[in-house]
Structures are given as structure tokens and as C-alpha cells.
Structure 1
């Protein structure tokens, strides 16, 4: 992947599977969801989301199908992970399982495909539904394919939602809820011999990932919530034009849109104000309702993982 806004060629679009852990104690943190969803998701501890909310489950699946259709209309090759098997679901036990945000369990930087390690226990096997795609597409290619070491209690943890790519500059968010210092150090050690510079970006403890605070639109233009960037913009982005969003907008996923290329951007109609500012700057904006996906604390970027972005 050349950058976050290089033309999208091949992308994986998420499935919509979630069975919550038996209790909040298993998570070790509060559930990272949109604030308005807390009451809704309190009803699913130890249960499959679709069993509790069948209508919302159908709407959730329809959102991802609609997202795939929009991307195909723009000429993007769309792949989908498989669903979990019954044996995989059973093996997770009280921990639960998630197969709903393909952005996080693996990611691409340049011609490197990297399997990360997710901190929340119910997401630890989320890479498995994508692995057949990776074996099919990446193994025969010239790309490098690596994985983090198996984590101990203290990591390493490294999640794709924390990783933003700008050429040879890689920014990695660190809030403590997802990627940790050891995960950042591992990525830097791996990538720096290939000419990449890896910059850590400190995030407040309540912010799950960097893409919940910052999104790149095109060269020189970004969307950011300054309240979620206590040290300001990362060094590679200083001097860029910023479309600012509030803490409330960021919590609802205003920074989590998806550039199809440097001229075309996908976002939710909830963020029409941001969309209007993008249009004023010559960006074509398409809107798609991802309101169910946003309940889980993610939107367009979280629901997709590029296998190939290249000019």
C-alpha cells in the first residue's frame, strides 16, 4: 500500500459476526463502542448480536453488502473474509468472538502484509477468516508476509486501526487499549531496514485507534480531532490543512471515512458537515449509511482492509 489515499485496487470488506464475552471483566477495558450504543450492547453479554437483535443484524449485513457494491462500482476488486466455523465459535468459549472489522487483525505497508495481534480477547482469532485470502493472494506474490510474535500478558499488541501509511512514513497510534509500546517497537524494528520511518502517536486512554482521531484524505488534507491528539499532529503531517471535528463527532466516527483515491471519499450522511467541507475543497463525496457498524466503534476504514493501493 503506497498511502491511505492511493487509488484503491483490491480491498477486503468485513463480515458482520459478533458474540460478546460473557462479562465485561474478560475485556479488561470498557467496551469500545459509540456512546449511544452502550445501552444496546449491554443486552448482548454472552450472546450473539444477531440472536438478540435480528433486525439490526440484517441491517448490519446489508450495510457491508452496500459498501462492497459501491466499491465495485468504482472499479475496485472486492474480497470478503469467510464466516467463522461452528468449531471456531465453540472454541472461544466465554471469551466470545468477533469477525466485524477487518482493518485490525492484519494490515499492509508498502509491499509488506503483516498479521497483528489484537488486545481484546474476543478479537484474537479475527485473522482466521482472512487467512485463506492471504494465503491465496499474498503467498504467490512478491509481497512479504509476516506476523507478530504470540503475545504474553503484556503484549506485543499491534492493530491495523492504529497504522496510517504515507509513503515511507508510518504513524502508529498508542493509547494502551489496542497497540502498545512493544507492538510499535516491533513494527519499527521490522520496517526500518526497508526504508520506513515509524512514528508513535500518543492517544488518550479512551480512544481505541489512531483512525478514530485522524484520517488522511489526500496529500496535504486531513480530518482530525485535536482533542484526541494531545501532542498535536504527527510530525509528518504538520503543515497539512485540517478539517477539524469535535470529540462528539470523532466518537461517532467522523474521521473514519475511506478515500477511494485522492479525489473520492466515502463517509456517512451523519457527517454531512465534514462532507461539505471536503466538497468545498474539490473532493467528490459519496454517502452511505453505516449506522449499525458505527454502534461497534468503527465505520468505513474499520470495515475495509486494502490488499492493494497503488498509483
Structure 2
């Protein structure tokens, strides 16, 4: 059986599910695109090609294996985008949560059944129908569980609202040992520069007590101030609107000292190195065209 345990975002990674780009369906019709950045590239004729996506993901897999991470991959489903495995399940402590995701994405769940079946049944948590969530909005961070969400008005209004208040309430009950801190996110179905698709599109911890933050992703300024106070302003790398659009907060930690990042994030990568991180730079700009990047592509199973 698979050993699972996730306490935070940066502990030494031992095993992970990395998505795949095989048979991902090519350029979808605009009505089947469920985020504004994908729609932008569809209309511009710049939507990514399968061969480029596969090359980027295999480059990511090589870096993970280089650091002795066991990498699992979903079973291929024809004409299904299975790149962003983060959203279709997540581990908190020694529990695997199977969320209720956007209806257009439900086929993706079948691709990881062969892996989830290796987890002891007592460690599986089923989510009630009323609670809607995706893993990009859920971040275990030591004593905290950080959650990005939308209140009912925004959740019913925007397709890009993926996690609702019922999900926040459910996770509070399911993990009573965690202090749940929920952040309302700014949403837009039409403008990717005004849309925080998930919490990890505007915030992510790195190291032992540092973070990347985009102020404009948060609907309430007090949530931004909470993060600045909690981490300390000297420990926060703030990114701007353009960097958020390019997915700069969506890097991925292999350990507290090793971060995988997109090679074009020059300012961010230099800042991380200045702070003592080892930065593994890879090409991942094609995946970014679908409003997801490195964290979005991974579903960590075990961190030490």
C-alpha cells in the first residue's frame, strides 16, 4: 500500500503524482475552456501543442527523479487534459481527499484511480456533494490549512470559482487539528490578469517560513496583510500583476531548500537564489498558457 503524509508545502518530497499531456485533446472549443487564459490562447491561435507539453512535463519528471522522488503518472484517457493533477485529489496529513471538482473535469479522476486504489481505504476521505473544491485552493502549512474560496455570490457567478464555503466548513470538520484560514479570491471568467484561479495562483509558501504573494489576488486586503504579518515582510517575495499572469507564484518545492521554477522567471529565480535556495529551472511556458504551472501539475503523496 502507498504511504501518504503531507504536513506542509515544502517538506522533503518522496513521492508525487505528476500529470501527463498524452492525448490531451488538442485545442478545445472555447466553450470547453474553463479558464480565461486558455480562452485567450485559443482565440489568439497560440494554444499549446501536445508535443511541447509532453516535452515540458518530461523535463519536470527528470528533475524530480534526479532528486530521488518517486514519480507516479495517471493512466492515459483519450482526449482528456490530465496535466493538472493537483486539483483532482490532495493529501493532508495521512488522509487522501477526493474532492468534487468542476463537472467538465470529472473524467480526470478516472486516471488516478489505479494509484488511489493503492491507499488504505481508511485513509480516503469522500467529500459531500454540497462541498466543491479543487486542490489548487488547498495548502497544508504546519498548524494551518490555508484555503482559497469564493462566497456563494461569486461561486454561482464565476466558472473559475472552484472552491465554495461548504468546502471550507467540511475541511474544518475533517481536520480539527488544523487551524483553517480561508481567503476569498478575486475572480474573472474573461480577464486572466484579474483572475486568481486558485490560491496557488497568487500565493505559495517556500522554504521554512517564506512565501511568494500577489496582493491583487485577494478580495479582502486584510487577508494579504495577514500573510504579510504571519510570514514577515522581509520573508515575502511580492510579485506584480504581470508576474501573477505568468504564474510566478506557482513554483514547486522539492525540499525547504530546492525549488523548481520556470526558466523565464528571471527576477523571481534570482531573488530565490539570493535567499539561499537552489533553483531548478525548467521550460514550462506552454503549460502556463492553460493558467497552471508547476504546483498545478503535481499531487504530492509523501513529504518527510
* TM-score category of the 2 structures, normalised to the smaller one: 0.7 to 0.9
**Structure 2 match to 1:265:** 259
Structure 1-normalised TM-score? Answer: 0.82
Structure 1 position 139 matched with structure 2 position 120: yes
Structure 2-normalised TM-score? Answer: 0.84
Query: Structure 1 residues 69, 288: CA separation in 2 closer, same or farther (over 3 Å shift)?
Result: same
Asked whether the 8 Å contact 2:183–2:223 carries over to 1, the reply is no
Asked whether the 8 Å contact 2:26–2:50 carries over to 1, the reply is no
For 2:109 and 2:100, the matched residues in 1 are separated by 9
For 2:216 and 2:250, the matched residues in 1 are separated by 16
Unaligned runs of 5+ in 1: 45-51, 90-96
Structure 1 position 111 matched with structure 2 position 94: yes
SS in 2 for 1:198: strand
For 2:28 and 2:171, the matched residues in 1 are separated by 29
Structure 1 position 189 matched with structure 2 position 173: yes
Deviations 1:228-268 (A, max 9, x none): 12333374763311101001111110000001100010110
SS in 1 for 2:287: helix
* Alignment map for 1:246-261 (pairs within 5 Å): 246-261=240-255
For 2:29 and 2:35, the matched residues in 1 are separated by 16
Asked whether the 8 Å contact 1:159–1:178 carries over to 2, the reply is yes
Structure 1 position 278 matched with structure 2 position 272: yes
Query: Structure 1 residues 127, 203: CA separation in 2 closer, same or farther (over 3 Å shift)?
Result: same
**Structure 1 match to 2:191:** none
Deviations 1:151-196 (A, max 9, x none): 3xxx42111000111123101101431101111111111111xx11
**Structure 1 match to 2:8:** 3
**Structure 2 match to 1:211:** 200
For 1:112 and 1:128, the matched residues in 2 are separated by 19
**Structure 2 match to 1:122:** 104
Asked whether the 8 Å contact 2:26–2:49 carries over to 1, the reply is no
For 1:234 and 1:6, the matched residues in 2 are separated by 25
Query: Structure 1 residues 129, 234: CA separation in 2 closer, same or farther (over 3 Å shift)?
Result: farther
Asked whether the 8 Å contact 1:215–1:222 carries over to 2, the reply is yes
Asked whether the 8 Å contact 1:108–1:306 carries over to 2, the reply is yes
Task: Give the Å deviation of 1:112.
Answer: 0.9
Query: Structure 1 residues 244, 237: CA separation in 2 closer, same or farther (over 3 Å shift)?
Result: closer
Unaligned runs of 5+ in 2: 1-5, 156-160, 188-194
For 1:43 and 1:73, the matched residues in 2 are separated by 36
For 2:9 and 2:25, the matched residues in 1 are separated by 27
SS in 2 for 1:215: strand
For residue 213 of structure 2, the aligned residue among 224, 228, 252 is 224
Asked whether the 8 Å contact 2:63–2:280 carries over to 1, the reply is no
For 2:43 and 2:123, the matched residues in 1 are separated by 41
Task: Give the Å deviation of 1:125.
Answer: 2.4
Task: Give the Å deviation of 1:39.
Answer: 4.2
Task: Give the Å deviation of 1:80.
Answer: 0.4
* Alignment map for 1:57-206 (pairs within 5 Å): 57-84=50-77, 97-119=80-102, 121-136=103-118, 138-139=119-120, 144-149=123-128, 151=129, 155-175=130-150, 176=155, 177-192=161-176, 195-205=177-187, 206=195
SS in 1 for 2:108: coil
For 1:108 and 1:20, the matched residues in 2 are separated by 31
